Amino acid sequence: MAQILNGNLVRDQIKAECLPRIKRLVDKAGRPPGLAVVLVGDDAASAVYVRGKTKTAEELGIHHETITPDASLSTEDLLAIIADLNARADIDGILVQLPLPPQIDAQKALLAVDPRKDVDGFHPYNVGLLSTGRPGLRPCTPAGVIEILKHYEIPIAGRNAVVVGRSDIVGKPMAMLLLQENATVTVCHSRTRDLPGVCRGAEILVAAIGRAAMLGEEHIAPGAVVIDVGVNRVSTRAEAVRIFSASRLAVFDRLGSLLVGDVHPGAMERLASAYTPVPGGVGPLTIAMLMRNTIEAAERRTC
In this prediction, residue 47 carries a pLDDT of 83
In this prediction, residue 50 carries a pLDDT of 87
Phi then psi dihedrals of residue 263, to 5 deg? -115, 140
Active site residues: 53, 97, 120
DSSP H or E segment with residue 119:
none
Q: Which residues pair with 274 in a beta bridge?
A: 3, 225
In this prediction, residue 179 carries a pLDDT of 98
In this prediction, residue 45 carries a pLDDT of 77
In this prediction, residue 266 carries a pLDDT of 96
Look at residue 294 and give its three-state secondary structure.
Answer: helix
End-to-end Cα distance, the chain? 48
Beta-carbon count within 10 A of 42 CB: 10
Tell me how far apart the alpha carbons of residues 228 and 216 are, in angstroms, rounded to a whole number. Answer: 12
Per-residue pLDDT of the chain (303 residues; tens, 9 = 90+): 899 999 999 999 999 999 999 999 999 999 999 999 999 988 777 888 889 999 999 999 999 999 999 999 999 999 999 999 999 999 999 999 999 999 999 999 999 999 999 999 999 999 999 999 999 999 999 999 999 999 999 999 999 999 999 999 999 999 999 999 999 999 999 999 999 999 999 999 999 999 999 999 999 999 999 999 999 999 999 999 999 999 999 999 999 999 999 999 999 999 999 999 999 999 999 999 999 999 999 999 887
Tell me how far apart the alpha carbons of residues 15 and 56 are, in angstroms, rounded to a whole number. Answer: 9
In this prediction, residue 44 carries a pLDDT of 77
Asked if 187 contacts 153 with a C-beta cutoff of 8 angstroms, the reply is no
CA-angle at 220, arms to 3 and 189, nearest 5° = 120
- The Cβ-side half-sphere exposure at 300, using a 13 Å CA radius, reads 17
Q: Which of 261, 259, 257, 258 is nearest to 210 (CA)?
A: 261
Look at residue 124 and give its three-state secondary structure.
Answer: helix
CA-angle at 25, arms to 22 and 27, nearest 5° = 110
Tell me how far apart the alpha carbons of residues 207 and 17 are, in angstroms, rounded to a whole number. Answer: 28
Domains annotated on the chain, with CATH: 29-115 (3.40.50.10860), 140-285 (3.40.50.720)
